[in-house]
């Protein structure tokens, strides 16, 4: 990835419950870079342009399967990765209709223009300020507790346990997930468990952690969400699995 610049910035602690990170990808070469984007349980808003494509803003919904795409030549993309609570309390946007896909947003969304993509640090500051102004303080305590539990366990918690902990029925929780995100709570937790394997696979630890019952289960789940075996992800030929390539 010598021609690819990639940076990640953590959000202001005040945005902890809503924003996971800000990130950028810049392709300085004259060749497109083929990549595979793996499901990671995030909702992203992308601000991008290239020599071949006009400035645009898109929102990418949750995914349960890998997507094969390319980073265009001479392109710039700045993005915000959101935690799910942000859909209701920051964006007021259901992403159920764009599950495994993406949708367009107005070119003046949040007042971010193409010129804001010239400085990543200033972009992060401007977007952070905008999101902070949008924070809704009246967050349902059940939902806050639910997502804290989901993220802190990296999805290795049962729906029954979550329902009992937050005093919200499994049926109501799944209805909420379906209406806002386009999948069930269990399906989302499975994606988070898959994502939690990235650092281990990056290090060559090709065996299951505590949240997989055994090696066959581990391999089956990895292939389900990536289309490849853990060994193939570890080799990461041509740096095509971008989420693994950028891990330190």
95/8 same-domain check? yes
* Whole-angstrom distance, CA of residue 24 vs CA of residue 58: 14
CB atoms within 10 A of CB 209: 13
What confidence score (pLDDT) does residue 214 get?
84
Q: Is the dihedral of CA 233, 239, 243, 248 positive or negative?
A: positive
Number of domains within the chain = 3
CB atoms within 10 A of CB 134: 14
9/123 same-domain check? yes
At which of 95, 112, 134 does a domain end? 134
184/220 same-domain check? no
What confidence score (pLDDT) does residue 211 get?
72
154/170 same-domain check? yes
17/129 same-domain check? yes
Q: What is the pTM of this model?
A: 0.94
109/201 same-domain check? no
Buried-state track 66-100, b at ≥16 Cβ within 10 A, e below 16: eeeeebbbebbbbbbbbbbbbbbbbbebebbebee
* Whole-angstrom distance, CA of residue 232 vs CA of residue 222: 10
71/167 same-domain check? no
- N-to-C CA span, the chain: 13
87/169 same-domain check? no
Residue 49 exposed, middle or buried by CB count within 10 Å (0-12, 13-18, 19+): middle
Q: One digit per residue, pLDDT tens: the chain, 248 residues?
A: 568 999 999 999 999 999 999 999 999 999 999 999 999 999 999 999 999 999 999 999 999 999 999 999 999 999 999 999 999 999 999 999 999 999 999 999 999 999 999 999 999 999 999 999 999 889 999 999 999 999 999 999 999 999 999 999 999 999 999 999 999 999 999 999 999 999 999 999 888 776 787 888 899 999 999 999 999 999 999 899 999 988 86
């Amino acid at each position: 990835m010598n021609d690819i610049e990639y940076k990640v910035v953590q959000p202001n602690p005040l945005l902890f419950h809503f924003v996971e990170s800000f990130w950028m990808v810049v392709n300085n070469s004259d060749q497109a870079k083929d990549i595979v984007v793996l499901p990671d349980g995030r909702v992203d808003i992308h601000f991008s342009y290239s020599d071949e494509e006009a400035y645009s803003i898109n929102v990418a919904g949750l995914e349960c399967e890998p997507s094969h795409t390319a980073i265009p030549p001479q392109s710039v993309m700045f993005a915000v990765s959101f935690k799910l609570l942000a859909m209701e309390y920051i964006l007021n946007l259901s992403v159920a209709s764009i599950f495994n896909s993406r949708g367009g947003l107005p070119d003046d969304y949040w007042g971010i223009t193409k010129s804001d993509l010239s400085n990543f640090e200033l972009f992060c500051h401007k977007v952070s300020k905008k999101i902070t102004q949008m924070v809704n303080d009246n967050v349902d305590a059940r939902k806050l507790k639910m997502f804290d539990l989901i993220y802190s366990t990296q999805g290795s918690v049962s729906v029954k346990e979550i329902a009992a902990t937050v005093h919200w029925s499994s049926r109501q929780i799944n209805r909420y997930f379906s209406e806002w995100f386009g999948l069930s709570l269990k399906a989302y937790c499975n994606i988070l468990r898959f994502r939690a394997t990235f650092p281990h696979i990056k290090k060559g630890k090709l065996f299951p952690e505590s949240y997989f019952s055994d090696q066959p289960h581990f391999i089956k789940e990895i292939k389900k969400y990536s289309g490849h075996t853990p060994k193939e992800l570890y080799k990461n030929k041509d740096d095509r699995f971008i989420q693994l390539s950028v891990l330190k």
